[in-house]
Amino acid sequence: MGTTIRTATVADVPQILAFIRALATYERAPDAVTATEEGLRRDGFGPNPFYYCHIAEQNGLPVGFALYFFNYSTWKGQPGVYLEDLFVQPEYRGLGLGKALLKRVAAFALERGCQRLQWEVLDWNTPAIDFYSAMGAEFLDEWRNVRLSGEPLRRLAGSEVKLEPEP
Amino acid sequence: MGTTIRTATVADVPQILAFIRALATYERAPDAVTATEEGLRRDGFGPNPFYYCHIAEQNGLPVGFALYFFNYSTWKGQPGVYLEDLFVQPEYRGLGLGKALLKRVAAFALERGCQRLQWEVLDWNTPAIDFYSAMGAEFLDEWRNVRLSGEPLRRLAGSEVKLEPEP
């Protein structure tokens, strides 16, 4: 049967959650996953999905996934594709499955008229960095990623912003 | 009249494009903008918009904007908000308009059930970094941003991925 890359269906949600957990463990954050099957079903398989997902199968067995969504480039004035997760089970690495998943996401981007595919990589993940470099990817190291969550986010949303009069 | 933060309408598109160009100039990339009014209209103001936008007005004059969209956290299993652009015209800085725009985006995030607001900042933009730090933002410096575009993207999408047989 060999390898198949196919679009995920709602029946894949338990497997997708298992992949998300396995990837978080690889990323040294095994306790960071609070996602539920219910949330993944709601967000990925309704009429206006928040994400898209492909599954890699080896001889009929799901062994990897790619999960992505649209972002937007104001410089280009068009949407792009942002790859949130790419994962192949360790025992199936080196067979080309990661590249096959990436190729499918790249094809999706071009079909939808997007000129950019973006993602993030951990700075210690040298094998991944080398793999992406060989593919011709750029590293946008001038930009720092910033996040506001929890109490600081609620504080900002509820803050009284004191607007100064014009000088 | 003071300050108003309001949701952008399709009539604001020429102004939004002017803000995008002004921000790119501030970011030392004045020639990077190839966006058009037509593209911004199509992508932001249809039934399933790729982005959302608020305008800051001072005494009825548009002087800044925030442009953002949904991303997706597989760890949280829920959408988040990604702030692509935040800009206030230089002569109107220091009045609280940037914070008022951010506050509105934070409120949008919480209204939609999102627990995270993310964005990027240039590593030399010290005033912005200090402003975000004071607000309680985290900097995710372990992650590098990667982009594939142009010829490398088309090459990947069209590649023959040679899948190795299982060992």
For residue B72, which residues of chain A lie inside 8 Å, CB to CB? Answer: 43, 50-51, 67, 69, 84
Whether B46 is covered by a domain: the verdict is: yes
B164 DSSP 8-state letter: P
| Stretch (H or E) spanning A111 | helix A97-111
Give the count of Cβ contacts less than 8 A between chain A and B: 280
pLDDT at position B151 is 96
Kindly give, in sequence order, each residue whose CB lies less than 8 Å from that of residue A3, ignoring residues fewer than 6 positions away: A56, A57, A58, A95, A96, A97, A100, B163
Residues B40, B67, B114, B147, Cα dihedral to 10° = 80
Range of the domain at A78: 3-140
Is residue A160 very low, low, confident or very high in pLDDT (cuts 50, 70, 90)? confident
In terms of pLDDT, which residue wins out, A131 or B1?
A131
Model confidence at B98: pLDDT above 80: yes
Q: What's the pLDDT tens digit per position in B40-72?
A: 999 999 999 999 999 999 999 999 999 999 999
- Show which residues of A are catalytic: 132
Is residue B167 very low, low, confident or very high in pLDDT (cuts 50, 70, 90)? very low
Are residues B164 and A95, on separate chains, in Cβ contact within 8 Å?
Answer: yes
Whether B153 is covered by a domain: the verdict is: no
The arithmetic mean of pLDDT across residues B1-16, rounded, is 94
Model confidence at B164: pLDDT above 80: no
How far apart, in whole angstroms, are the C-alpha atoms of residue B9 and residue B53? Answer: 8
Total tally of structural domains belonging to chain A: 1
* Option in A2, A76, A166 nearest B34 (CB): A76
Are residues B115 and A149, on separate chains, in Cβ contact within 8 Å?
Answer: yes
Is residue A167 very low, low, confident or very high in pLDDT (cuts 50, 70, 90)? very low
Are residues A69 and B74, on separate chains, in Cβ contact within 8 Å?
Answer: no
Whether B165 is covered by a domain: the verdict is: no
Q: What's the pLDDT tens digit per position in A29-66?
A: 989 999 999 999 999 999 999 999 999 999 999 999 99
ipTM of the complex: 0.92
Whether A128 is covered by a domain: the verdict is: yes
Whether B129 is covered by a domain: the verdict is: yes
Q: Do residues B97 and B61 make contact, with C-beta atoms less than 8 angstroms apart?
A: no
Whether B65 is covered by a domain: the verdict is: yes
Kindly give, in sequence order, each residue whose CB lies less than 8 Å from that of residue B11, ignoring residues fewer than 6 positions away: none
Whether B74 is covered by a domain: the verdict is: yes
Q: What's the pLDDT tens digit per position in A113-158?
A: 999 999 999 999 999 999 999 999 999 999 999 999 999 999 999 9
Are residues B118 and A148, on separate chains, in Cβ contact within 8 Å?
Answer: yes
Q: Assign residue A110 the CATH number of its domain.
A: 3.40.630.30
For residue B117, which residues of chain A lie inside 8 Å, CB to CB? Answer: 147-149, 153
Whether B8 is covered by a domain: the verdict is: yes
